[in-house]
Structures are given as structure tokens and as C-alpha cells.
Amino acid sequence: MAAESGINLKISRIKNLPELPAASIKIIDAVSDPEISIEELAEVISISPVLVARLLGLANSAYFGCAHPIKDLKTAIIRVLGLNLVKSLTLGILLNLALDTGKCRHFKCEILWTDALVTAILAQKFSLLINNNDLVPSTSYTAGLLLNIGLIAAVHLFPETTDQILLNVKRHSSSVSTEMTILVGHDQYELGGALLEHWHLPDIYQTVLKEFKNTAYSGNEMKFIAFLTLCFGLAKNVLADKEDEITQLINQLSVFGLSSAAIRPIINEIIAKKDNIYLAALAISGK
């Protein structure tokens, strides 16, 4: 810890991360295709035995309660998981596999992915209601899922420092972003943007993360970032059952043309499916 905390850890450390394997890039391209069929997706995912094993494990888990064992991925998608859940699980699992999160005692990977999944669901469902070209549902979903990937990068690159960051968050009632900037010199969103650039993911996701906390940003994605900020805040508060904060964020979403009457059923649906979402987060984190 002393060796790491004595220096300003730089974003250039991202360059030390491995490149994504060609197979992973092929799978990411497939899950990003809104027109892909179940058959095509199952075929592409099948090149990764780890992915197939985790997805089948989830489909056969006690939570879903299938009467007969699910033995192939196509059946798992059609009968149990659904196309959208499989896409999000696949993207999360691939990125999680590329980064080692086991050396940071206070990091709970499944909590991060639970937040990410709820953010993604809210962003997608709200953007469908808004029907605006600046807020594409599939892009909104993926951006929500990737929003905190920089924290996983931090855990991989400097686990001891990140452990201290997470402890400071509890001690100071602070945020990860604030504490990481103090100890590392960059927050998790800047790290995430650099990571996505290193892995050559689409520019829009790089920009969203790099500029997520930049109040001076006024570029093309400003509206998208404001929208995701509200979705992320709402996700955290829905999961924490903080009704006052939920009401405030619902009111703020009115600038996008969303009413409480439209938002509340979506929140209620997420609350009803909390166990399912948490189980999916466990599958992503490999627990």
C-alpha cells in the first residue's frame, strides 16, 4: 500500500492491461447487434466455453425452477433467460473475465453489476418511452451496463489502493469518485473511458465515461450523459429503498418528458425482480 499511495497513479496504467482476445471482440460485436437472431447469438457465444457454462448454470439455477435440465444455450435463451438478459450477461461476463477482482477485500463485484444492470434496464425502458434519436434504447442499455467498469479496472490495476478507497468511502460517508480522485488522481469514470479506448469499444461509450463527471462538458453527448446520470442515481436509490430520493429523481426526469405515471410501473417491475437481477449479477461476477 505504501508504495502505491506515495505516487499519483496515472491513467497510463491502463496500457498494462491485456488486450481483449479476438473471440471476445467477436462476441461483443454480436451482442451489440440489435438485429441478431437467437440462433446466431447462441452460435457466436458457443466459442467461449466459460460463457456457455455460466449462462447454462444460471438457467438451471433453483431460482428459475425449470422442471427439466436446460442442456443447450439456445433453449436457455428461449425458455428461461431471454435475448436481452443473455446479451447483458455476456458483455458483463466477458469484461469481468478480463480483469482480476479477487485481490481487493472490500470490493463486492456482484453489487457493482447489480447497480449496472438496474441502471441499464432503467435507461433502456425510459429511452423507449422518450423516443428521441439522442437516446437510442440499445445504446442506453449498454452505456448503463458499462458505466462503472472503471472501478473494476482500478481493482485489477491497484487492488490495495482501491481497497483503501472503499474503506475511506465508508469512513468519510463519501463517494468512490471523490476518494479515488484523491488517492489515484482520476475517478473511476475516467479510468473506465481509458479502458474502453484501450479495448477499442465504440467512441460513444468512451466519451460518456470520460466526461461523466465533467460539469464543463458541452459536447454531443451532453444530453445522454445527463440522462444516464439520473438513471444511475435512480438505480442506486431504488435498490436502497430510498423513497424521498426516488421521488426527487422522478421529478428531475420530467425534463426528458417522463411522468411519474410512466416511471413508477418500471420501478415496481424492477423491485419485483430484484432477486432475479441479483442472480444475474452473481453470474457475471462468477460467484
CATH number reported for the structural domain that contains residue 106 in this entry:
1.10.3210.10
Residues 84 and 106 in one domain: no
Residues 195 and 166 in one domain: yes
- Tell me the residue range of the domain where 50 lies: 20-98
Residues 202 and 269 in one domain: yes
Q: pLDDT digit of tens for each residue in the chain (287 aa)?
A: 444 444 345 667 777 777 888 888 888 888 888 888 989 999 999 998 888 888 888 888 766 667 778 888 888 888 888 888 888 888 888 888 888 888 899 999 999 999 999 999 999 999 999 988 889 888 899 899 999 999 999 999 899 999 999 999 999 999 999 999 999 888 999 999 999 998 888 899 999 999 999 999 999 999 999 999 999 999 999 999 999 999 999 999 999 999 999 999 999 999 998 988 888 888 888 77
Residues 89 and 112 in one domain: no
Residues 140 and 56 in one domain: no
First to last CA, the chain: 27
Residues 141 and 247 in one domain: yes
pTM over 0.75: yes
